[in-house]
Amino acid sequence: MILHYDIIVIGGGHAGCEAAAAAARLGSRTLLLTMDMAKFASMSCNPAVGGVAKGQIVREIDALGGKMGIITDRTSIQFRMLNRSKGAAMWSPRAQCDKEAFSAAWRHTLENTTNLYLWQDSVVELVFDMSAEKPRVQGVKTKMGMEFSCEKVILTAGTFLGGLMHVGSSSAEGGRAGDQASQGLTEQLRALGFEVGRMKTGTPARLDARTINFEILEPQYGDEKPSKFSFSSETESVKEQLPCFLVYTSKEVHDILRTGFDRSPLFNGTIHGIGPRYCPSIEDKLRTFADKEEHQLFLEPEGRHTNEYYLNGFSSSLPWEVQWEALHKIEGFEDLHIYRPGYAIEYDYFPPTQLHHSLETKQVEGLYFAGQVNGTTGYEEAAAQGLMAGINAHRSRKGEEPIVLNRDEAYIGVLIDDLVTKGVDEPYRMFTSRAEYRILLRQDNADARLTPLGYEIGLISRKRFGEFTKKNRNVESLISFAQGQSVKIAEINDYLISVGSEPLTQGKKLADLLMRNGVTFEGVRAVLPKLEKFIIKEEINNEEIEEAEIRIKYRGYIEREKQIAEKLHRLEEISIPEGFDFMAMNSLTIEARQKLSRIRPQTIGQASRIPGVSPADVNVLLIKFGR
């Protein structure tokens, strides 16, 4: 029995699985501790991966060498590219997954990862070396009496720390339905000086498909030509997609729900945690949008071989009988049976301004936080943090510099910088609007942005890097062809008229034509034999054609954002000495001194993004540190 490991990961959710897999694959002997080995990366809420901005994060995880994209592709039952009608920066992939298959695929991956060991147990105490100026983590103690030593610990306990579930006036300890809460770690870390808060999230009732009248519901199908998440050739797009369905509440449903408001733990003071603004419960919706007489809901299958359905948009902690009565008034649900009611869950989190950008805590050396313990919500945000924590914990023990992604490099960089620099006042969810450089951070070019880094640090194989190089070469080749290929009036005018574009009066380069709205490679190749022959000869696939088209159409916007990013990089290059006394700088505002002293930014760029630090304060710092 091995009792000493390089890295110990606490928690087998999305953050923990990515952290453990990355650290082990990089060469650290890693132990993943989880309460239930049948629930790795469990989809405790909706059985889907991706969505607006979240889909971009998953493609970035995949581009760096993480596993979420690959496992999603292998277990998808529906795929949709959201926001196709908008600009390419807004396109976001989303996949409905088979919930049980997703966890099983993660277990298979973990059990077959070299250097990775599993132990089913609950951690009740961290072990520290208190002899140095700053405490240093040394190991963990478990509920079963085991003690494991290590150099680094990554805490990814999700909603389990102090977890408390609520349904009406009933409450019970637990991290999710059917699982115990984790006790002891919060109290220990609070005693060490960590700030602790409470957040809450919720989930809807699960429904029995045998009792739903699908014939009168509105189906929502996947894409006719589905794509996939992973850039790797080892996965394929989903076959035999299953539909989701749209259903709607009504005034009658709302009236029934309101009868339980006096017993709602959200409204009567029972729940003290802060809930997610962008994923509100149905009772929150009724109070916030009191004038609306219906709300759209999404009925989603939880797998290929189960009758269990998830009612997205109907999260609730109202008494079960109120939920049950209201659900029966939804069209198609008249004979409904539910497997379990919706519930809310409160849990502990640690404000993430207590972290470095590496996700190592400032108070304890060798201790990393990732996932919902940092105040985030969502599988994708958690997995991204887990991946980066796993990478950086490994690099730290090897004496290497941490990997910190910039805001113009990845949504993951935006996510972590927002957490560490700005903190959270509600469960953090990623949106495209949080990124200043959306046109640079598209889902289609995540591999171009991050795969070279994944290869450099050791998570991308030589074979896959070769595939990436070939794809890049094909994209560049197609762009060069379009820039050099002249198109004659007779060849193209009928097509231009058919898509509502002005006909040519003289010949033009193909790249110039592609700048027009409605003109696409797919349309042009049908009328331009030279283009079709080139695509076939060079073996250019549809994904490569799409990326080339986006780069041609948005070339001006891309170049402008790159220039803006380069200017702001100058602030990131001006460092602030560790331990600098901001309180002694009387030329800063009091608020700026307090915020800078608490967050301890490492660069002026980071300081400039702290709420409460004004442009005038930034100028003072520039004069002090280096313009």
Contact at 8 Å (CB) between 136 and 365?
yes
Contact at 8 Å (CB) between 466 and 486?
no
pLDDT-derived band at 175, boundaries 50, 70, 90: confident
Q: Is residue 375 in some structural domain?
A: no
- The single-letter code of the amino acid at 239 is K
Q: Does 583 lie in the same domain as 499? A: no
Q: What CATH number is attached to the domain comprising 490?
A: 1.10.10.1800
Contact at 8 Å (CB) between 43 and 95?
no
Q: Does 554 lie in the same domain as 479? A: yes
Residue keyed to tokens 């008034």? 329
Q: Is residue 553 in some structural domain?
A: yes
Q: Does 523 lie in the same domain as 496? A: yes
User: In whole angstroms, what is the distance from residue 449 CA to residue 469 CA?
Assistant: 12
Radius of gyration (Cα) for the chain, nearest Å? 26
Hey, what are 152's tokens? Answer: 């680094």
528, 558, 588: which is the final residue of a domain?
558
Residue keyed to tokens 């070469």? 473
**What total number of domains does the chain contain?**
2
Q: How many other CB atoms sit within 10 Å of the CB of residue 84?
A: 11
558, 592, 611: which is the final residue of a domain?
558
Q: Does 474 lie in the same domain as 549? A: yes
φ, ψ of residue 175 to 5 degrees: the values are: -90, -25
> With b meaning 16 or more CB within 10 Å and e meaning fewer, what string describes 206-225?
bbeeeebeeeebeeeebeee
Q: Does 466 lie in the same domain as 536? A: yes
Contact at 8 Å (CB) between 377 and 349?
no
Q: Does 598 lie in the same domain as 512? A: no
Q: Which domain holds residue 602?
A: 573-625
User: In whole angstroms, what is the distance from residue 392 CA to residue 400 CA?
Assistant: 9
Q: Is residue 497 in some structural domain?
A: yes
User: In whole angstroms, what is the distance from residue 484 CA to residue 491 CA?
Assistant: 16
Q: Is residue 45 in some structural domain?
A: no
Residue 197 has pLDDT above 90, yes or no: yes
The predicted pLDDT at position 616 comes to: 87
49 forms beta bridges with 95
Q: Does 612 lie in the same domain as 540? A: no
Overall average pLDDT of the 545-572 stretch: 90
Q: Is residue 348 in some structural domain?
A: no
pLDDT-derived band at 368, boundaries 50, 70, 90: very high
Helix or strand (DSSP H, E) at 248: strand 244-248
Helix/strand/coil percentages in the chain, nearest 5: 40, 20, 40
pLDDT tens by residue, 294-345: 999 999 999 999 999 999 999 999 999 999 999 999 999 999 999 999 999 9
pLDDT-derived band at 1, boundaries 50, 70, 90: confident
The CA–CA distances, whole Å, from 249 to 205, 260, 312, 498 equal 15, 16, 12, 42
Q: Is residue 24 in some structural domain?
A: no
Residue 627 has pLDDT above 70, yes or no: no
Hey, what are 263's tokens? Answer: 């017993």
Q: What CATH number is attached to the domain comprising 583?
A: 1.10.150.570
DSSP one-letter code for 88: G
By percentage, how much of the chain surpasses pLDDT 70? 100
By percentage, how much of the chain surpasses pLDDT 90? 83
Q: Does 607 lie in the same domain as 527? A: no
DSSP one-letter code for 449: H
Q: Does 478 lie in the same domain as 511? A: yes
pLDDT-derived band at 276, boundaries 50, 70, 90: confident
Q: Does 469 lie in the same domain as 554? A: yes
pLDDT tens by residue, 229-252: 999 999 999 999 999 999 999 999
Q: Which residue has the higher pLDDT, 402 or 606?
A: 402
Q: Is residue 594 in some structural domain?
A: yes
pLDDT tens by residue, 432-479: 989 989 999 999 999 999 999 999 999 999 999 999 999 999 999 999
- The single-letter code of the amino acid at 10 is I
> Which residues neighbour 10 within 8 Å (Cβ) at sequence distance 6 or greater?
16, 33, 123, 140, 153, 154, 155, 156, 157
Q: Is residue 552 in some structural domain?
A: yes
